Amino acid sequence: MTDLTRVPCPHCGETTNFFAAEPHGGSRWGSFVLLGERPIGAGGNGEVWLARDERLGRLVAIKFPLVARGPEFERLAREARAVAGLKHPNIVNVYYFGEANDRCFVVS
């Protein structure tokens, strides 16, 4: 099981769970293997990594939220369901939403 660390928010002081273990190049998340040494993008809500889908043999992007559970997990699940229902050339496809290594993630 992944260790969680309680971290205070620098803005409001409320504590939340953050993962002590981070994704890294070569790590496996279900049928996805992360590529590269660092994320291809990062922001206030999480990190995005380039990965290979071992089942389908294609490159994908995996978004990992920064917080462990609770409202952020539910928000990510709602976001994945909403985007999965949209079809537009300027909106990324959602291929998978799930958990592995005690982390949730979205695959596009």
| pLDDT tens digits along 13-26 | 776 555 545 688 88
Q: How many structural domains are present in the chain?
A: 1
User: Which conformational region is residue 24 in: left (phi greater than 0), alpha (psi within -120 to 50 degrees), or beta?
Assistant: beta
Asked if residue 32 is part of any domain, the answer here is yes
Asked if residue 15 is part of any domain, the answer here is no
Asked if residue 12 is part of any domain, the answer here is no
Asked if residue 27 is part of any domain, the answer here is yes
Taking the C-alpha atoms of residue 22 and residue 102, their distance in angstroms, rounded to an integer, is 11
Whole-structure pTM value = 0.73
Q: Kindly report which listed range (1-5, 15-19, 25-29, 59-63) carries the lowest average pLDDT score.
A: 1-5
Q: Which domain holds residue 49?
A: 23-107
* Average pLDDT along the chain: 82
| pLDDT tens digits along 32-42 | 999 999 999 99
| pLDDT tens digits along 80-91 | 999 999 999 999
